[in-house]
Amino acid sequence: MNEVPDALVIGAGPAGLMAAEMLSDASHRVVVAEAMPTPARKFLMAGKSGLNLTRAQPAADFARHFGGGSGGCLPPHPRGYFDAKDGTFGPEAVMAWARGLGIELFTGSTGRVFPVGMKASPLLRAWLARLRANGVDLRTRWRWRGVAGGFEFDTPAGPRILSPRATVLALGGASWPRLGSDAGWVPMLRAAGVSVADFRPANMGFRVRWSPQMARHFGAAVKNTAIVAGSATGRGEWIVSRAGIEGGGIYEVAAAIRDGAAAQIDLAPDLDVRALTRRLEAVPDRLSVGNRLRRVLRDPVKVALLLEWGRPWPDTAAGWAARMKALPMRHDGPMGLERAISSAGGIEWSAVMPDLELRALPGVFAAGEMLDWEAPTGGYLLTACLATGRLAGLAASRHAGRL
């Protein structure tokens, strides 16, 4: 059975759904094929703890948070996706789009933008209703298997082939594979002549072999620290877990650490070495080392980290103060893709045109985490998926209209 829709979108995450919206807005007959039983599973999982849609920043500042690419940096056109001056999809446009779906938003003290309800499900329901009203045909449990003679799928009703006028690929990267982003598309595209950089974890934690004394602190939050790794700095909260260290403050510097930078933790970023030394000297000498450190840091988790990673222990107040301000982060490498928030790697920028059409496959466009970019958490990831999905959908619409 060979079906010929106007447009095909493979993948029903944020990038794919945005591409489908652009195509259906232009009155194209759109089929969305999704391998999982339900759409946008990673999107819903991310929204369980508060859906961070975007970041309220000027477009130029927002774009500076994006990196990656097999050459170490992005070419000019991806950063331009967020420049509202030319009609692309930056933070202000994302907020307007969400409000257009009936979702009320608020902006936190750090500029992060969330739905008032702090969940992804109401936004997704409204979005899917809009797409259905536009005639988008969402087909779940359709797994893409190849491109010989058309786009081949395994479906609940057996093998199917679609030969669309234009196609958008939005199958995700390689993180959280149990939610559908398993990078199973990589061999197919490489066989078709598309250059794909190997995937690596991004926005991930780091494995640590803790001493038995740290077990009592598993699950504890580490607050008010500054982590420096190369030119990257993290100030967010993070967690000590049985497996290691993870959380927003770690994710901000994760790419630099993954790529070889040594990391140091400032356990008291609001005090300098001199002030810490004076506080330590004021603590009675009769107290144990741990109790003296607790008097100054006033946080048992920070003290535990200092004792864990601070060896050889200093023997002076000034030495302990210096160690508090520059505690080496000791780890055993990044956690794997199965635990990473996102991934680096994917379709290389040399393999796509500025409008995201694949050079090796005319009429086929790619979007979202399939592309070789990375960014920290905090609204950047989702905005980029929406922006690239929008661009690919608009370009696919123009292509379909020319045929």
Q: Does position 87 have pLDDT exceeding 80, yes or no?
A: no
**pLDDT value at position 66?**
85
Q: Which domains does the chain carry?
A: 2-201+340-402 (3.50.50.60), 206-328 (no CATH)
Residue range 301-346, pLDDT digits in tens:
999 999 999 999 999 999 999 999 999 999 999 999 998 999 999 9
Residue range 268-277, pLDDT digits in tens:
999 999 999 9
Amino acid at 47: G
Q: Does position 369 have pLDDT exceeding 60, yes or no?
A: yes
Q: Does position 73 have pLDDT exceeding 60, yes or no?
A: no
**pLDDT value at position 290?**
92
pTM value is: 0.91
**pLDDT value at position 50?**
84
Q: What is the mean pLDDT of the chain?
A: 92
Q: Does position 118 have pLDDT exceeding 80, yes or no?
A: yes
Q: Does position 122 have pLDDT exceeding 80, yes or no?
A: yes
- pLDDT: is 248 or 86 the higher one? 248
Residue range 229-263, pLDDT digits in tens:
999 898 889 999 999 999 999 999 999 999 999 99
**pLDDT value at position 156?**
96
**pLDDT value at position 204?**
96
The band of 2, judged by pLDDT with boundaries at 50, 70 and 90, is: confident
